[in-house]
Amino acid sequence: MFKQREEPPKKKKRILLKIGSNTLTKESDQLSRGKIEDIGRQIAALKDEYEFIIVSSGAKVVAKQFVELESDYKDIHTKSALTSIGQPHLMRIFQESFRELGLLASQCLLSYSDFEKEVSRENIKKTVDILVSNNYIPIINENDTVATDEIKFGDNDRLAAMTAGLLDVDLLVIATNTNGIYTKESFENGSPETIEQVEDFADLKKEVVDEDKSTHGTGGMSSKVIALEIANKANIETWIVNGLEDDFILNTLNKDTAFTKIES
């Protein structure tokens, strides 16, 4: 009697999800546990087909809920101190929310200099691969404690794009507070229309309006265009989606909502 040959397990597609502070707070001054739960529910629903890596902002926002430092909040050292205070709280909230959904979360803090050293790049990739293969969701942020004005990513959009290229993800999803990138004319007319497909970055830069700078974060739409270029050079398909919507990952995968797509 012949044994039936077992089919090898289907390879999951890898998504890197970048979540900005405006998404995590739902444009308020407080971190939204409901939004983190919304993200977790979607990951749980998709875990048989996709594996997720998260680049998350929000540490400074969380810190401001607990402390008030007697320093200039624009000073890089004060920002680093706030991140140091807020990061453990942010991870605790992710872990508590995800655990209730049967998901496991881990923390990875990266520095810009890590991407300049081949041995560090290899260590990052191997570590994340081990975490993902053991069903842990790596939650990545910049290691602000060692960052300086000269040596830092500048914003998590760039961190996400560089990480996406390093980890060979299939798709980079940047969650923000708009339905993708709008045409300049429609934005200025007060009736925003989404640019659904990007063909030329030179044309895209002419359309970008950056008056909507992030309330809590460091990036605006211009930083996302830079991230798109980085990901595009690494042959990573990228979507810019509205993370404020409930089920935004599912809706985007099902093409039930407007978003901007940049193919690899």
Please state which CATH number belongs to domain 13-262: 3.40.1160.10
pTM of the model: 0.87
pLDDT by position in tens, the chain (length 264): 445 555 566 789 999 999 999 999 998 888 999 999 999 999 999 999 999 999 999 888 888 887 776 655 566 777 788 888 899 999 999 999 999 999 999 999 998 889 999 999 999 999 999 999 999 999 999 886 665 443 355 678 999 999 999 999 999 999 999 999 888 888 888 888 898 998 877 777 777 765 544 444 444 677 788 889 999 999 999 999 999 999 999 999 999 999 999 987
**How far is it between the farthest Cα atoms of the chain?**
78
Q: Using CB atoms within 10 A of its CB, is residue 204 exposed (0-12), middle (13-18) or buried (19+)?
A: middle
Predicted confidence at residue 146, as pLDDT, reads 60
What's the pLDDT at 217? 44
What pLDDT, in 10s, does the model give residues 134-189? 999 999 998 866 654 433 556 789 999 999 999 999 999 999 999 998 888 888 88
Please name the residues in contact with 258: beta carbons below 8 A apart, sequence gap of 6 or more.
179, 180, 194, 196, 242
Which phi and psi angles does 55 have, rounded to 5°?
-110, 115
For 8, phi then psi, to 5°, come to -65, 150
Is residue 109 within 8 Å of 141, Cβ to Cβ?
yes
In this structure, are residues 22 and 176 in contact, taking their beta carbons and an 8 Å threshold?
Answer: yes
CA 152 to CA 149: how far, in whole Å? 6
pLDDT of residue 215: 46
**Residue-range domain boundaries for the chain:** 13-262
What's the confidence (pLDDT) of residue 137? 98
State the Cα–Cα distance between residues 224 and 205, nearest whole angstrom.
11
- pLDDT for the residue 5: 55
Helix (H/G/I), strand (E/B), else coil: 77:
helix
Q: By the 8 A CB rule, do 94 and 37 touch? A: no
